[in-house]
Structure 1
Amino acid sequence: MPASISQEMPICHSTFQELYDKLVQLFHTNEGRKDLEYCGVSIYSLFESTLKATLVCQGDSEIDLTELLSKAKALTDYCDEAILLYHFKEVPDHWRRMLMDSGLLNVMIQLKGLISIRTASEAPTDFEKLEPKVQSMMSELDICLVVSGAPGPDRRSTALLVLDELQAWLTAGRRRVKERQEAPSAKRLKVDVGERQKTEKEEGAAGRLKYPIERLTEAPSFEWFLAHCNQEIPTPFILPKGCGIIDEWPAFKHHPWKSTEYLLSVAADRVVPVEIGSQYTDADWSQKMMRFSDFVQEHIVKQEKDGPPAYLAQHDVFYQIPRLERDIIIPDYCYIEAELNDSYVQRTPQQEVLKNAWFGPKGTVSPLHQDPYHNLLCQVVGSKYLKLISHQQTPLVYPREGLMTNTSQIDVEHPDVEKFPAYKEVHYLECILQEGEVLYIPPKWWHFVKSLETSFSVSLWF
């Protein structure tokens, strides 16, 4: 395994060589990729011949490497088109496997090219020359990882190793370049994403809630929590900051998610799916793959008011970037075996805790919707307003038809009571979830969420 490169050291090519050797080892035999033959003789043959040519190619032959990269890119493009022919839940494993292996082959070829570059190891221009090449390589591999899910023996672990080591290489290189600079701009990234002062209106909002959600004074016992969840109609409640549920998370301490400097050191060049638009029910809503550093700089640090808001929403960033997963600790409550009933009709797949990240600027919204599982919503940075409505009142919130039956037609902030008159009869609960607090949301309870400031939350479904 490559040595850690997060420590200070001269810019060198040993990291690239070690990662290249790791990929050679992964592809040493074709026993782990026999199922790729199901993609067709021509595609399988193109992959195998490109891999073989990469292994024997001399890295200083730019023409050969360019040709090999073109073939690897053709493979990933073809896989993308093939995958689009299926519903995402029905994509055959062999196409997802071919996409992942082609992505790793693409990286392997580019690493071979980087190894051949000979420059003076201490010159700042070395890093500036290699940085965009490494960024591009990471972006392409990350997209393959997210789209394919990285099936196949050792594929995910190898891809994550490559991405983690290259990110650490970039972070260390940028640190060295910054230290050589005399300009004070070196401090530009040291911005706490939750440091904005709340307005007087926001400070007093918690005391003006009409129907506040119950706040416990201390963490309940495991047995109490299980009994509460097993009620026919469990109710939401808030676990306060300081009760010991998430207070010891590294995300609050030595790996603070409030610090953009820390977040960028871990994930600056990773590519993540970002929602563009006020909420997913809007006609102009869209999704795009975006480099994490671009998302942070454009939508978290600057928070420009002219463009549409962007939201890293309901994404298992912890599966994609395990270094961030080490910053949280799943509460024991998530491992209860709650009884199934009319509102909790199925457990999570493999009874695992489903973890999702919600990171965005002030004003991001999740429209009124419901989820099928028990949920602990953990507020790590900033604060959010939530309105909750029992599933017993489902007819009063006018669920949509079709694919979004779990989403209401009601615009909670501007309800059209003439079009939806029954909504006036709704009984609701509400809260402002503050940093360090945890909100329990029972299955099928409708909930509307809005960030009152820059916010980073983690939802834990179980």
Structure 2
Amino acid sequence: MKRVSESCQVLDELADDAYQHLLVARRSDTLPWRRLYTEASLMRTLADLMLQRIPDEATIELCIARLDRILVIAGAPGADRRELVLLLISKIQKDHLPSEPFRCLSPSTLVPSLDVAAVLVLAGPNAVPRHGQPPSISVFQRRLRHEPFLLPGFASDWPAMNEHPWRSLEYLRSVAGRGRIVPVEVGGDYRTDDWTQELIAWESFLDSLDETQRRDQRIVYMAQHNILDQFPSLRADIIVPDYAYTSLSPPSGYPQYRPPANDEQLVINAWLGPKGTVSPGHTDPYFNLYAQIVGRKTVWLAPPSASAHMYPYPPPVSAAPADSVHNPATNNLEPSMSNTTKVDVFCDRTNESRFAMFWEKVVPTALSVTLEPGDVLFFPPGWWHAMRSEDTSFSVSMWF
């Protein structure tokens, strides 16, 4: 028994050491540490389950959380490792933490009622073009891929909008099962000093979005997380538009474009948070199909040509240690993946003198739209964009 305990301690130390290296390693150097974290955590979980003939609930929850960390922190690299992790989670839940299947009767919802008051965007006077009928693939490739456009109601027939409603708290709980944890941002704006990141229980996070259950007054936001990979049942609830598979060439305004490096050349992320959540103005390196599933979200956009007047955070300082950087807007770790402005594009013009060129040069060319449930927005790489949730909001971005 002593040997087993010592072995468990070694596995914990190996996983912790790998995690510490992941915090400071460059993206290209992380694979060995991600694999070490995965293998040590898997073996530690199996040891916990084998040590107790009937594991107690605390041990079970610890095991599931450890397995979720493999998915979230390390990505479960290695042959069949992701499948093994998901299989273990499912088996542990089935054997020790069973839950009732979802029945769509009269579920509680993320958005009990919509405030129909007008939404104002002071820094975006021009409306995003709308297409009542989805354009053909050839028209998209030849003409429409160069600028943003809106497809109203394009996702209205997705399972996420109907038989598997993402607006239902009961469905979101059932699709994950008990004991799961997810990464969240804490704080309304990642440019501020009080912003941080945490791993919290999925059920606690959902409770924080339920206006009838909410006790925590902090703004908690799940941003840019591939929850469809962590909870695979959700992947079947969306239908990726054919536009995402058109293998587009770099646009003239963003010649450095390259598609995502994975096999599918597609990255799907989810965004779930309360009313008032803001993503500040920034750019992304991919074409984006942005689907609004629950609630409303206002999107502000400006073309790549506006970059000279967007007052971005300065480029990274090579001498700064990676682990000393708190604000991701400074881009010390991944400067090519993000570029964030200091301007609050949703505010009034009280700071007009500070960012004079933004108001003079950028605002006249900016676009804005408030997405309704079922809407899909397209915009090319390099376009500046900012988001504001007008209600509790659940969105999906599809980078390609």
TM-score (norm. length: structure 1): 0.73
Q: Distance in 1 between matches of 2:293 and 2:51?
A: 42
Change (3 A) 1:311 1:254: same
What residue in structure 1 maps to residue 10 of structure 2? Answer: 71
Percent of matched pairs sharing the same residue: 34
Letter in structure 2 aligned against 1:400: Y
Give CA-to-partner distance per residue, 1:169-207, whole Å, 9 cap, x none: 5663x449xxxxxxxxxx9x9421122x223424x769x
Letter in structure 1 aligned against 2:391: E
Q: Could you tell me which of 286, 294, 297 is aligned with 1:381?
A: 294
Unaligned stretches of 5+ residues in structure 1 = 1-60, 118-128, 177-186
What secondary structure, in the 3-state scheme, does the structure 2 residue paired with 1:192 have? coil
- Whether contact under 8 Å (1:344, 1:444) holds in the other structure is no
- Whether contact under 8 Å (2:221, 2:273) holds in the other structure is yes
Letter in structure 2 aligned against 1:194: V
Shift, 1:410, TM fit: 0.3
Shift, 1:133, TM fit: 2.3
What residue in structure 1 maps to residue 136 of structure 2? Answer: 221
What secondary structure, in the 3-state scheme, does the structure 2 residue paired with 1:401 have? coil
Answer 1 or 2: higher relative contact order, Cα 8 Å, separation at least 6.
2
Change (3 A) 1:305 1:321: closer
- Whether contact under 8 Å (2:127, 2:367) holds in the other structure is yes
Give CA-to-partner distance per residue, 1:10-63, whole Å, 9 cap, x none: xxxxxxxxxxxxxxxxxxxxxxxxxxxxxxxxxxxxxxxxxxxxxxxxxxx6x6
Q: Tell me whether 1:294 sits opposite 2:204 in the alignment.
A: yes
What residue in structure 2 maps to residue 284 of structure 1? Answer: 194
What residue in structure 2 maps to residue 430 of structure 1? Answer: 368
Change (3 A) 1:254 1:168: farther
Letter in structure 2 aligned against 1:141: L
CA RMSD of aligned residues (A): 2.6
Give CA-to-partner distance per residue, 1:79-121, whole Å, 9 cap, x none: 2234345234422x3332221111111111122134x13xxxx
- Whether contact under 8 Å (2:156, 2:373) holds in the other structure is no
Q: Tell me whether 1:390 sits opposite 2:303 in the alignment.
A: yes
Q: Distance in 2 between matches of 1:210 and 1:419?
A: 20
Letter in structure 2 aligned against 1:348: P
Shift, 1:319, TM fit: 2.3
Letter in structure 2 aligned against 1:219: P
Shift, 1:301, TM fit: 4.4
Q: Tell me whether 1:399 sits opposite 2:328 in the alignment.
A: no
- Whether contact under 8 Å (1:97, 1:152) holds in the other structure is yes
Letter in structure 2 aligned against 1:237: F
What residue in structure 2 maps to residue 29 of structure 1? Answer: none
What residue in structure 2 maps to residue 359 of structure 1? Answer: 272
Q: Distance in 1 between matches of 2:251 and 2:125?
A: 30
Equivalent pairs, count: 366
TM-score (norm. length: structure 2): 0.84
What residue in structure 2 maps to residue 421 of structure 1? Answer: 356
Give CA-to-partner distance per residue, 1:222-273, whole Å, 9 cap, x none: 111111245xxx22111011xxx42332212222111111111122422221
Q: Tell me whether 1:237 sits opposite 2:163 in the alignment.
A: no
Unaligned stretches of 5+ residues in structure 2 = 316-329, 332-337
Q: Distance in 1 between matches of 2:69 and 2:245?
A: 32
Q: Distance in 1 between matches of 2:191 and 2:40?
A: 35
Q: Could you tell me which of 248, 257, 260 is aligned with 1:348?
A: 260
Higher helix share: 1
Letter in structure 2 aligned against 1:422: M
- Whether contact under 8 Å (1:303, 1:361) holds in the other structure is no
